[in-house]
Each structure stands twice: as structure tokens, then as C-alpha cells.
């Protein structure tokens, strides 16, 4: 008998990419979207012979700036180039945004989606504490590894991969099974915890053999769901205290003793309702703290807990980055929502607002749960169907790029790793404005300003760069604009 990486439930290998998202390359010339309205909004149709591409983000001279525009009416990252004005315009009605590069906030890690297994996997048990027969399985070689390599080949910038375990095998859990809740057997430092830490090491080693370096791992996917005994998915329970013990005595030493000390270890990886207590508790354990790099957050309970919790977390543990590690639309089954809504602009705006809120509160990156799903929102072995930025219609041999695809691309395309969020000073309170705006400085030397207008009316404003001039900005109703200049 052998144990596969899939059975270990390192179920999600996620991609953080900042120039290629879901196969988006850097074309020399743009190709327009082939639009189709399914009744809820516009998608872009792609097939084996044609897919829309985005105008290349080329270096402009110092007198010009570019605008990339996506609108409810059908524009998809439409590019235009204009010249800076020497003086502030009069069209804005007095609303101004002034770029301040000297005031920096968090460093950007990236934006992307997850490579997930979509097939049911038989759960195996093993009494061999040396893991002599550990191996990757068909799901790794067929459904993840080839596509990760392809994404790397398409990407001109370096991508980052991180993995999340959903559950130990049943023989290591108090419940005796992978599906549903239950903690690891025993306590931190014992043979059960040490063998689980060894699983992490073997997973990293075997992916390394496939020429795939994992940038980061989370200590556990949604550990709080592990306290729900009837939870449908594989899951495993940790409290902040027990996670700290596992990291301090087992996982941290195992990573460092096997040459993986540079792998970023993320704690929590759960809803922001656990902030800031969870990371504060883990980091209060000095032995655990020396191994931890970041905090993973999921978005599913964001509607009941304000984004300021993220800023509170930064204030409590400023040494840790904050990364949104999972999000998707269509998950609200209790509200009887449709998992997949082709062309939904409302879901576009939900993505944009959440990403903007998160970035404004010290988050360094944002990850969708699935890179691509089928028309039903799956496959999924427990029928937990959801939406995705790319929806595949295998019957017609085509796929649809949802508005949420372009929502992510407005960030991923223009904010490479090691960009910084910088200050964008407004003379209008954001709480009273229809607009939401953020600014960034990139290691490539560009300045990026992103402006969201979810309202039903056009908005005018000025963006001022004291070193370049004035941009007379106009945001159409229901639009997202990305401004770029060097």
C-alpha cells in the first residue's frame, strides 16, 4: 500500500502570478473579445483557434500614460494612451487624487488562482510511520503538474506556488477518517504530529523532483472547519494554540532540517473572523514564531467582519504578510444562489471591492479558489459547485472568460511581485465618494493607479503626479480603470 500526495490532501496547489493569469500571456498585438450575453452579462468566448488578448503593457515615455478600461457595457481591458496635462483641469468638479511615492505600505506578493483536483479520491490508511512508500499519484501528474509547467512557460515573470493540506489520512486523526472534522491524534511533539510534518516534507521533495519549487505552504486549510463533525470535505481541526505547538515542535523543525527553511509558512488560512487573535496567539509562542512568515485568509465570512480586522492584524504582527489564499463566488448555497452565472457583473464588482478593501488594509495578494470549472461549477466530489473566472463548455469545445477574470487581470497584469502600495491622497473622503482608488509603485519603474466606479453615473476627477503632470480622469458608470505610467 502507498500514500499519495493527493491522499495527503495537499489538495490545492495555488498559483500567484503577476503577468500571466489563467493563461494570459503578453501579446504584441491585442485581439478583441468575442462577446456573448447569456442574459446576466457579457463573457468573452475562446476556443482552440481564437481567444481575446490584452494590449501589451509597454514602457511609455515620460509624457504619456496608458488607461486600461473594463466596463459593464462590454469593454475588456481596452487600452488607450494619452499625454499628461501641465495643469489641473476644470472638468473634475474639484475631486483630485495626488500620488505620494514617498509613503509606502505593504509589498505585493501577487494574484492568481488554484490548481485543484476535481475527481474523487479513495482514502487510504497506513500503519507505516516511516512513509517508505510515499509517492505522487495520477492526479498530480495528469491534473496539476503539466498545467503548472505550462503556466510557468507562459509567464515572463516568476510565479509563486503555495500548497494547502486539507486533512491528514484517517489513521492519523482522532475521527479515523479524512472527511469531516477531528484533530490529529495525540499532541504536539509526538509520533503522530511528527509523521504529519514528514508528509509536508515528502510533498515538497516530490514536487521538487518534478522541477516545481513550492514557494509557500499553509499549516492547515480552514482549521476551524475541523470542529464540525459532519463537514462534507476533508478537514482537520486546530486551534491557534495547537497550531502553534505543531509548528514549534514538529512542522517548523522538519522543514528546516530537510532544507526547506526558505519555504514561506502561513498560519490560520481561515476566515478573517479569527483576526487578529489567531496570528497574535501563534506569534506569542517564540518557538513557533521563528518559523512563520505570513497569515492566510479566506473571504467567505467577510460580509460579517469588516476589512479593518486586517489592519488590526498588521498592527499586532507587522512582521507577517497577509495573503488572501481562497475566494470564489457562487458558494452561498444557503441562499439558493446559482453556482455559475455567466457574465455576472455583480460578481465582478464583488471581486473588485473585496480586493480593493483588502489591499487598502495591508493584504499583499489575492487568490481565486479555482482557475477553471465546468458549466455546472465543478466537478466536485461533494457537489459543492461554485463559480470561476474561466468556465469550460466541453460540449462546444470552448471556454468563457468571466468578468471576474478581467477583475483579477486589472491587478495581476500590472502589479508584479515586490511592487508597493503607495499613498494616494484624495481631497474627498472615500466613504462619501462613489469611487474607490489605490496607487502602487512597481519594481519595473511604473506607477499604477486603479480606480473603481461601481456606481450608475460617470465620475470625473484629476490624478496628479507632481513629477509628470495631471491626468483628467473619467470613470464611466460600472467600470474599473487601471492607469499606468513611467
Residue 441 burial (CB count, 10 A): 19
* Residue 326 annotated as catalytic: yes
**163 - beta bridge partners?**
13, 217
Phi-psi region of 308 (alpha: psi -120 to 50; beta: other; left: phi over 0): alpha
Q: Backbone phi, then psi, for 384, in 5-degree steps?
A: -90, 75
Q: What is the rounded CA–CA span in Å between residue 437 and residue 463?
A: 10
Q: Extract the runs of DSSP E, i.e. beta strands, from 333-435.
A: 363-367, 373-374, 390-393, 398-401, 420-426
Cα dihedral: 460, 465, 468, 473 (round 10):
-10
68's grid cell: 486600461
Angle CA(167)–CA(171)–CA(177) in degrees, nearest 5?
Answer: 55
Q: In order of start, what are the domains of the chain with their CATH numbers?
A: 12-18+109-412 (3.20.20.80), 58-107+420-485 (2.60.40.1180)
Q: Please report which helix (H) or strand (E) contains residue 47, including its range.
A: strand 42-47
Can you tell me whether residue 142 is helix, strand or coil? helix
Angle CA(254)–CA(258)–CA(261) in degrees, nearest 5?
Answer: 80
Q: Which residue matches cell numbers 470535505?
A: 233
Q: Backbone phi, then psi, for 32, in 5-degree steps?
A: -70, 155
The 8 Å CB, 24+ separation contacts for 465-469 are 465/84, 465/99, 466/98, 466/99, 468/62, 468/63, 468/65, 468/84, 469/63, 469/84, 469/85, 469/86, 469/87
Angle between helices 403-412 and 345-360 (to 10 degrees): 30
First to last CA, the chain: 58
Helical spans, DSSP H, in 116-158: 138-139, 145-154
Is residue 375 within 8 A of residue 341, CB to CB? The reply is: no
Cis peptide preceding 130, ω within 30 of 0: no
Length of the chain: 486
Sign of the alpha-carbon torsion through 103, 109, 113, 118 = negative
Catalytic residue, candidates 7, 55, 139, 222? 222
Q: What is the rounded CA–CA span in Å between residue 454 and residue 283?
A: 39
Q: What is the pLDDT along the chain (486 residues), one digit of tens a residue?
A: 333 444 444 556 676 754 344 333 344 457 999 999 999 999 999 988 899 998 878 899 999 999 999 999 999 999 999 999 988 766 667 789 999 999 999 999 999 988 765 322 222 222 384 545 555 666 787 777 887 888 788 788 888 999 999 999 999 999 999 999 999 999 999 999 999 999 999 999 999 999 999 999 999 999 999 999 789 989 999 999 999 999 999 999 999 999 999 999 999 999 999 999 999 999 999 999 999 999 999 999 999 999 999 999 999 999 999 999 999 999 998 889 999 999 999 999 999 999 999 999 999 999 999 888 889 998 888 899 999 999 988 899 888 999 999 999 999 999 999 999 999 999 877 656 799 999 999 999 999 999 999 999 999 999 999 999 999 999 999 999 999 999
What pairing do the DSSP bridges indicate for beta strands 294-298 and 321-326?
Answer: parallel
Q: What is the rounded CA–CA span in Å between residue 85 and residue 178?
A: 62
Query: Can you give the pLDDT at residue 26?
Result: 42
* Residue 261 annotated as catalytic: no
69 alpha carbon, distance to own chain's centre? 22
Q: What is the rounded CA–CA span in Å between residue 223 and residue 166?
A: 8
What pairing do the DSSP bridges indicate for beta strands 216-218 and 264-271?
Answer: parallel
Cα dihedral: 105, 109, 111, 113 (round 10):
-140
Can you tell me whether residue 141 is helix, strand or coil? helix
Catalytic residue, candidates 7, 55, 139, 326? 326
Amino acid at each position: 500500500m502507498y500514500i499519495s500526495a493527493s491522499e495527503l490532501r495537499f489538495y490545492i496547489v495555488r498559483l500567484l502570478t503577476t503577468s500571466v493569469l489563467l493563461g494570459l500571456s503578453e501579446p504584441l498585438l491585442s485581439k478583441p473579445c468575442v462577446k456573448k450575453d447569456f442574459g446576466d452579462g457579457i463573457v468573452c468566448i475562446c476556443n482552440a483557434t481564437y481567444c481575446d488578448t490584452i494590449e501589451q503593457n509597454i514602457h511609455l515615455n515620460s509624457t504619456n500614460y496608458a488607461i486600461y478600461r473594463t466596463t459593464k457595457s462590454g469593454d475588456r481591458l481596452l487600452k488607450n494612451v494619452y499625454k499628461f496635462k501641465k495643469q489641473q483641469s476644470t472638468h473634475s468638479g474639484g475631486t483630485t487624487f495626488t500620488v505620494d511615492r514617498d509613503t509606502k505600505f505593504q509589498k505585493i506578493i501577487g494574484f492568481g488562482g488554484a490548481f485543484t483536483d476535481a475527481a474523487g479520491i479513495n482514502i487510504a490508511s497506513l500503519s507505516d510511520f516511516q512513509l517508505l512508500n510515499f509517492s505522487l499519484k495520477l492526479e498530480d501528474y495528469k491534473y496539476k503538474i503539466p498545467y503548472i509547467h505550462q503556466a510557468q512557460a507562459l509567464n515572463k515573470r516568476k510565479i509563486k506556488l503555495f500548497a494547502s493540506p486539507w486533512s491528514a489520512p484517517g489513521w492519523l486523526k482522532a475521527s479515523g477518517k479524512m472527511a469531516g472534522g477531528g484533530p490529529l491524534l495525540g499532541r504536539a511533539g509526538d509520533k503522530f504530529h511528527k509523521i504529519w510534518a514528514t508528509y509536508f516534507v515528502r510533498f515538497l521533495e516530490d514536487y521538487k523532483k518534478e522541477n516545481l519549487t513550492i514557494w509557500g505552504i499553509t499549516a492547515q486549510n480552514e482549521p476551524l472547519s475541523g470542529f464540525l463533525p459532519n463537514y462534507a470535505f476533508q478537514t482537520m481541526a486546530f486551534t491557534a494554540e495547537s497550531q502553534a505547538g505543531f509548528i514549534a515542535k514538529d512542522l517548523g523543525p522538519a522543514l528546516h532540517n530537510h532544507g526547506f527553511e526558505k519555504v514561506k509558512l502561513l498560519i490560520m488560512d481561515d476566515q478573517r473572523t479569527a483576526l487578529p487573535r489567531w496570528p497574535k496567539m501563534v506569534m506569542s509562542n517564540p518557538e513557533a514564531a521563528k518559523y512563520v512568515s505570513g497569515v492566510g485568509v479566506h473571504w467567505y465570512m467577510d460580509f460579517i467582519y469588516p476589512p479593518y480586522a486586517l489592519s488590526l492584524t498588521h498592527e499586532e504582527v507587522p512582521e507577517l504578510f497577509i495573503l488572501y489564499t481562497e475566494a470564489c463566488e457562487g458558494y452561498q448555497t444557503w441562499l439558493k444562489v446559482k453556482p455559475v452565472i455567466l457574465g455576472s457583473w455583480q460578481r465582478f464588482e464583488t471581486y473588485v471591492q473585496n480586493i480593493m478593501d483588502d489591499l487598502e488594509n495591508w493584504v499583499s495578494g489575492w487568490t481565486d479558489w479555482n482557475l477553471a470549472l465546468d458549466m455546472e461549477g465543478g466537478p466536485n466530489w461533494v457537489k459543492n459547485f461554485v463559480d470561476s473566472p474561466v468556465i469550460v463548455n466541453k460540449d462546444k469545445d470552448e471556454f468563457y472568460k468571466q468578468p471576474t477574470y478581467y477583475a483579477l487581470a486589472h491587478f495581476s497584469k500590472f502589479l508584479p511581485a515586490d511592487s508597493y502600495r503607495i499613498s494616494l491622497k484624495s481631497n474627498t473622503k472615500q466613504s462619501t465618494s462613489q469611487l474607490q482608488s489605490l496607487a502602487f509603485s512597481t519594481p519595473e519603474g511604473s506607477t499604477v493607479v486603479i480606480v473603481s466606479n461601481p456606481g450608475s453615473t460617470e465620475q470625473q476627477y484629476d490624478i496628479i503626479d507632481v513629477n509628470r503632470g495631471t491626468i483628467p480622469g473619467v470613470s464611466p458608470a460600472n467600470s474599473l480603470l487601471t492607469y499606468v505610467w513611467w
